[in-house]
Structure 1
Amino acid sequence: MRYFFLFAVVIFLFTACGTKREYYQPSQISQLPNTPKNINGKIINFNNNIAQLNNNTFINSFGDIVKFKLDENYHIINTHQDEILIADDNGNFKVINLQGEELFSYKFNESVVSASLDGDDIALVLASNTLVYANKNLGIRILQNLGTAYAQDSRYASPYFLNTIIIFPMLNGKLAIVNKSTLKVTKEIIVSSEEFFNNIIYLHIKNDTMIASTAEKLIVVTPNKTLYFNENIKEVNANDNEIFILTKDGRIIKKDYNLRKIDEIKFQFALFSKSMLYNNSLYIFEKTGYLIKIDTDLKNFIVYKLSDAIDKKSFMTNGKFFYQNKILQFN
């Protein structure tokens, strides 16, 4: 029996090794509408908000290249107007303006994974799944751990200031609502209860509707109801009325804010990497070197070849796709 088991294992391994992976192959490829242009500097780091270049500059959420000399061993977490939120891997955090003046600094016991700024108020999430509410003048006002979080996705949504509350996208699949007046967590909304890779990767607020997502579940919260949608999620984009969910198996699912399905399209074997809504089109970079432009009605699409971007660090924002040391401007 033991020999039969070993034989079965060997056969399985040989079969697995012999399985050929299939890749996305578009039936038609169009010529790029614009020629990618070189930029000074190369992307060395990026997150949902910015991309850092290797020459004391960074790309902000508007797609502008901004000069900024970063302290050694620090990386940029987020920006707000002319103020830059930076941190290192040892828990050091600073707010610095573009002139290099330090406006706030603090040493935490663990690293900062996401942060946002609103005037003098600062909201942060630490690697230990701890939320922090601070003020430049008053210092730390809340520091509260919300439970253990195991192994996070590399994408982190940023805290969101909304009138008298702050919405913290936590690492254990929760949204924590903090009241700035009472300095208390008034509500915890569970988006997903997965044990691993369960951090909030997307957070969008429109009027009285909140959309949030982990890699396994999307939630829509309104004053009257809470709706859930389970899926293997790679990217989420939302406009004023619709939500576009990009799945890990190459589908684009379009839903309304009530999570009613409007349409769906599948790109066989596609591995979506980056995406962005811009001028009534959804732009998607596919990992094997294709740029997909599809109308928001999901009826018409064009595929471009972009081999230079394969395995390169990239950043997509405001109608621009940056990769390595190049920029492609969308129409």
Structure 2
Amino acid sequence: MKKYALILTILVSVFFAGCSTKRQYFEPFDENVAGKVSFEGNLPSKIIASNYNGATLANGNVVSKTGVNSNFKLAKNEKFLGEFEGKFISTNEKGALKVSDESGNLLLDTYIDTQALSAAINGDDLAVVGSNNTIYLIKISSNSVVMNQKLRQAYAVDSRVASPVFVEQLVVYPSLDGLLVIADRYNGRIIRDMVISDQPFFNNAIDLKVLGDNMYATTASKIMLISPVGNKSYSGEIRSVLFGNDRIYAFLKDGVVDMLDLNLNKIKSKKFTFALFAGAGIAGNSLNIVEKTGYLIKTDLNLENEQIFELNDEIDEKTFVNSSAFYHDDKFLSFN
């Protein structure tokens, strides 16, 4: 009995110690705050869903990488997946999948057997990753399915699912179970797959990018470089990544920004103590970082000459960021 009483005492002590731990927040000294800035613009409606490629507004309008599009409008319960080559992709929970032009004219109206989580367009080809880890390749003009392949079951998925990318005659799909699946876009045949994460959960790619001969796949715990001269990886607790000016900026969960070269060598590291990064964008020669408790951090592209501005709002709603602005709730902050 004494043994069990001792164990219980330890557990209770740990519990109350955890409960008494106060959450610490990013609080720059007043003398380090250069001024105040406000969310100066209003969106047509509030953001109700967002992903790497865009945001869905409550009134059906969308925000893409190129900004707000008020001409295009989603149907009720649809979500925006992104704009590619002037074409807009949308979906809903029942498996509806649509491609429209910027005026809302339907180019494709079809169904798949799962909800689409991410998608991309190249020419007449639509590549899709479904919520049950099925990958699709669909011809837009003929609504013909070139490939419909169910992959291994994924038990826990990071909601930030990267979009497929097209590389000449190939399509690279970020599967939900930690793989990159490479398929021939002309016959829909899977050529090979590659492991990018062997973590048991949340190991899907949250960002997938091709720069020249290099491909970069980012998960919540690593950035992997795949190149003709070999592969390399960088590890960290990653909230997001940003590519620009031959640099990669990795925003980590402990308030650290690591600047890497394109070979994933660390050039510089900058710590903003207790910062929670909500999003970042590059505008001109400035790196603009929005911090969730209500600050805008501006540095040059070498992570130097920082300026901190206090925002007129904390970030507690859905957000989206592109190179020119940070979108939050029903307003936006221009980086210019």
TMscore range, shorter length: over 0.9
The answer to whether the 8 Å contact 1:204/1:238 transfers is no
TM-aligned CA deviation for residue 67 of structure 1: 2.3
SS at the partner of 2:33? coil
Give the aligned partner of residue 287 of structure 1: 292
The one-letter amino acid paired with 1:185 is: I
- Structure 1 distance, partners of 2:96, 2:143, is 18
Q: In the superposition, relative to structure 1, how do residues 22 and 190 fare at CA in structure 2: closer, same or farther (>3 Å)?
A: same
The one-letter amino acid paired with 1:3 is: A
Counterpart of 1:66 (choices 70, 73, 83) is 70
TM-aligned CA deviation for residue 244 of structure 1: 1.0
- Structure 1 distance, partners of 2:35, 2:220, is 33
The answer to whether the 8 Å contact 2:78/2:91 transfers is yes
Counterpart of 2:57 (choices 23, 42, 53) is 53
The answer to whether the 8 Å contact 2:108/2:143 transfers is no
- Structure 2 distance, partners of 1:307, 1:169, is 38
TM-aligned CA deviation for residue 145 of structure 1: 2.1
Give the aligned partner of residue 91 of structure 1: 95
SS at the partner of 2:332? strand
Unaligned runs of 5+ in 1: none
TM-aligned CA deviation for residue 99 of structure 1: 3.8
TM-aligned CA deviation for residue 39 of structure 1: 3.3
Give the aligned partner of residue 27 of structure 2: 25
Q: Taking every aligned residue pair, what percent have the same amino acid on both sides? A: 34
- C-alpha deviations, 1:62-97, integer Å up to 9, x for none? 123332231122111112244221111122212223
- Structure 2 distance, partners of 1:235, 1:206, is 18
TM-score, with length taken from structure 1: 0.94
The answer to whether the 8 Å contact 2:89/2:99 transfers is yes
TM-aligned CA deviation for residue 49 of structure 1: 0.9
TM-score, with length taken from structure 2: 0.93
The one-letter amino acid paired with 1:117 is: I
Q: How does 1:1-331 map to 2 (within 5 A)?
A: 1-27=3-29, 28-32=32-36, 36-136=40-140, 137=142, 139-331=144-336
Q: How many residues align?
A: 331
The one-letter amino acid paired with 1:20 is: K
- Structure 2 distance, partners of 1:243, 1:171, is 24
The two structures, once aligned, show a CA RMSD in angstroms of 1.8
- Structure 2 distance, partners of 1:200, 1:274, is 18
- Structure 1 distance, partners of 2:283, 2:195, is 30
Unaligned runs of 5+ in 2: none
Q: In the superposition, relative to structure 1, how do residues 257 and 98 fare at CA in structure 2: closer, same or farther (>3 Å)?
A: closer
TM-aligned CA deviation for residue 196 of structure 1: 0.7
